[in-house]
A and B are shown apart, each in its own frame.
Chain A
Amino acid sequence: ILNVEQSPQSLHVQEGDSTNFTCSFPSSNFYALHWYRWETAKSPEALFVMTLNGDEKKKGRISATLNTKEGYSYLYIKGSQPEDSATYLCAPTGNQFYFGTGTSLTVIP
């Protein structure tokens, strides 16, 4: 079992603010790190998958970085919009996906 920690647990920001969250995981036996966005009443949606130390991925206003040596990944949202409100899950993979409990983001208009 791989212990995955995400912080903060929840976050409220004003529309237009930029924000970031952290995913921490043991760096041994690491294969890849996935980020998902999970909106209420919908299915989790894949955002990024990263494998290499120093990897950076970007999708619109959302970006992510990976540090495999120290075992963490950051997810950044620039200029948050109400439609960004969701729970953001990270999942490092070993022989399976190990999901964290997520960061719940609420963007206040």
Chain B
Amino acid sequence: KAGVTQTPRYLIKTRGQQVTLSCSPISGHRSVSWYQQTPGQGLQFLFEYFSETQRNKGNFPGRFSGRQFSNSRSEMNVSTLELGDSALYLCASSALAGANPGGTDTQYFGPGTRLTVL
């Protein structure tokens, strides 16, 4: 089975612009979660989508949004980019919802998109 893929792998934007990142989950997986990683921080949870519905959302401003398509592919959008948005953005797919039920479903991560905001 092909793994989780993310495009693009690297991106350079300037402040005020917007950006869209894409994630294709493992075939058959219906849940996609997005995480942000910045130096010194753990993986910060952005949101999770399951069957095209946002099931859970982390503590990020409304500039961060996402969606999931009927084929389970997901996109994440960040509008009005700020310097602090420079980070590695990871997506992870799982067969069921990322943490429900029972919390045992493993998440499989993509290689990430490195976003640099100048």
Contact = CB atoms under 8 A, between A and B. Distances in A.
Given A43-B4, A100-B42, A95 B100 contact: yes
A91 B103 CA distance: 10
Contacts of B110: 43
Nearest to B58: A96
Interface in B14-61: 33, 35, 40-45, 48, 56, 58-59
A49 B99 contact: no
Contact of B33 (A46, A49, A97): A97
Interface in A13-63: 31-32, 34, 36, 42-46, 49, 51
B81 interface: no
Interface residues of B, number: 29
A68 to B, nearest CB: 12
Given A32-B103, A43-B4, A97 B98 contact: yes
Given A1-B59, A49-B106, A97-B99, 15 more contacts: A32-B102, A32-B104, A34-B106, A43-B90, A43-B111, A46-B108, A89-B42, A93-B99, A95-B99, A96-B56, A96-B58, A99-B43, A99-B45, A101-B40, A102-B42
Interface of A: 1, 4, 31-32, 34, 36, 42-46, 49, 51, 89, 91, 93-102
Interface of B: 3-4, 33, 35, 40-45, 48, 56, 58-59, 90, 92, 98-100, 102-104, 106-112
